[in-house]
Structure 1
Amino acid sequence: MFLVDLLFPNRCLECKRIIHPEEVVCELCFNQINFTHHHISESNLLTEKCRLLFPIENAFALMQFERQSTSQKIIHQLKYGRREKIGKIIANWTAEKLDFSHSKPDLLVTVPLHPKKLKERGYNQLHLFADELSKNLKIPCEHTLIKRNFYKKAQAKKKKEQRNFNENLFSITRNISNHHILVIDDVFTTGNTMSAVAWEILKAGDNKVSVLVMAMD
């Protein structure tokens, strides 16, 4: 054990018990996480929400994103707490629950940050998560297929301007067709971001889209 582990032991995000350096919550708190129990090959609430916005093959959310919940604390630490390694932990949880025996994607892609936001944060919270999933699922992963075109949030736009903003928020960086693409994001809320990404993929060629998120609000 390293001296830093003795001086600054890793603690459970929920109950503050000392835990293994490669864990994020203790076993007791893990069992309190509200997992969705979605199955990728069956319809679920996330699939139904996505189908209102764009054509979709399958959708999967690992957790429910509830206010003040353990899942919220985990994702906030991943995004804002500079704990990128949490992405790898969540990926292993996710891989254990996925079954692509019916319709396995050809490619994993992540929702990108704008370069300015990436520089501010220092990392994209989805990259380590997606890379670990790629290894577990034996599906290639590409982080540069989708480009985010604007830095400002769409909420700052007026109604008509916001619609145009959402339509042009992302673009495809290369020609791609005849692919089943699994789009990965952290939290599904309104679905506007995921819809904007999905439509760019669908417009690019004869592609199919599935969705995977760490949590759904």
Structure 2
Amino acid sequence: MFLDLFFPNRCLACEEIISANTILCDICEEKLSFSHFKFDSENPLAQKAKLLFPIEQAYALFIFKEENLAQNLLHRLKYGDQEFIGKHFAHWIFDKIKITEIDEIVSVPLHPKKLKRRGYNQLTLFGNELSKLYKIPINHQLLKRNFHNKAQAQKDKQHRTETESLFSVIENPENKHILLIDDVYTTGNTLASIAWEILKHPNTKVSILVVAMD
């Protein structure tokens, strides 16, 4: 109560005072570029991903656009030490789609050097909250990133394709349907690299869920 009085929660966009446990006022939330996709195999994200690797279902919460509010929130989550935003993304997703027939949720790992520098993986709290809401186990040990590479957004188009052997599967996902989660789907090469490693194992399936689709 004391903190609410002297340090009220404020909208991350317009700084209006808002209720606790929210990050945007109602007016600013309406400005978000929600995709309105279903979690299925026919939406635009699924169609793009199918060109690179076999998937069962796909979903993006936002349509990514430069300089918009969704982009700002993602930047705060990833680089602004505001990991709590991922928890709110998970709740927005839970309010919009049903996820069934998934055995494990798996997030794209950071290389240990990048994890140490940033201090957190922006997908960890997000993934943990999805796991809690949907009652689906999350596995933080399935994947290992083998190389410390530049962020996809900082690469030119030629180098964005250099993702072969970037990841290793260090636990056996045999007979499992894996939901891969990431922050932004750009070229799709990172998720494709992971998916093909998982699909080497017998009777595996892959679906994807991202915060935003470019």
Match of 2:193 among 187, 191, 196: 196
TM-score, normalization by structure 1 = 0.90
- What is the letter of the counterpart of residue 181 of structure 1? I
Q: Deviations over 1:69-106 (max 9, x none)?
A: 110111111111111111111101101112235xx211
Q: Distance in 2 between matches of 1:157 and 1:45?
A: 24
Which of 165, 169, 193 is the equivalent residue of 1:168?
Answer: 165
Provide the identity percentage: 52
- TM-align CA RMSD: 2.0
Residues 88 and 132 in structure 1, CA contact (< 8 A), matched pair in contact too: yes
Look up the SS of the partner of 1:28 in the other structure.
Answer: helix
Q: Does 1:121 align with 2:129?
A: no
Contact 1:177–1:205 (8 Å) recurs in 2: yes
**SS of equivalent to 1:166:** coil
Distance 1:211 1:205 in 2: 19
Task: Return the letter of the residue paired with 1:212.
Answer: L
Q: 1:92 to 1:157 in 2, by over 3 A?
A: closer
For 1:142, what is the secondary structure of its paired residue? coil
The answer to whether 1:50 aligns with 2:54 is no
Aligned partners of 1:152, 1:176: CA distance in 2, in Å? 25
User: Contact conserved, 1:41 with 1:99, CA < 8 A, in 2?
Assistant: no
SS at match of 2:126: helix
Distance 1:30 1:43, change over 3 A: same
SS at match of 1:108: strand
Q: Name the residue aligned to 1:208.
A: 205
Q: How far did residue 205 of structure 1 move? A: 2.8
1:68-217 equivalence runs, <5 A: 68-100=67-99, 104-153=101-150, 165-217=162-214
Distance 1:46 1:157, change over 3 A: closer
- Contact in 1 for aligned 2:63/2:212 (Cα 8 Å): yes
Q: Deviations over 1:39-80 (max 9, x none)?
A: 113510000010000000000000111111110111111111
**Contact 2:172/2:201 (8 A) holds in 1:** yes
In structure 1, runs of 5+ residues without a counterpart are: none
Which residue identity lines up with residue 175 of structure 2 in the other structure?
N
What residue in structure 1 maps to residue 25 of structure 2? 26
Structure 2 unaligned blocks of 5 or more: none
TM-fit CA distance, 1:7: 4.2
Q: Distance in 2 between matches of 1:162 and 1:48?
A: 20
2:32–2:70 contact (8 Å) kept in structure 1: yes
Alpha-carbon displacement from aligned partner over 1:97-145 (angstroms, at most 9, x marks no partner): 12235xx211100000001111111111111111111111111101121
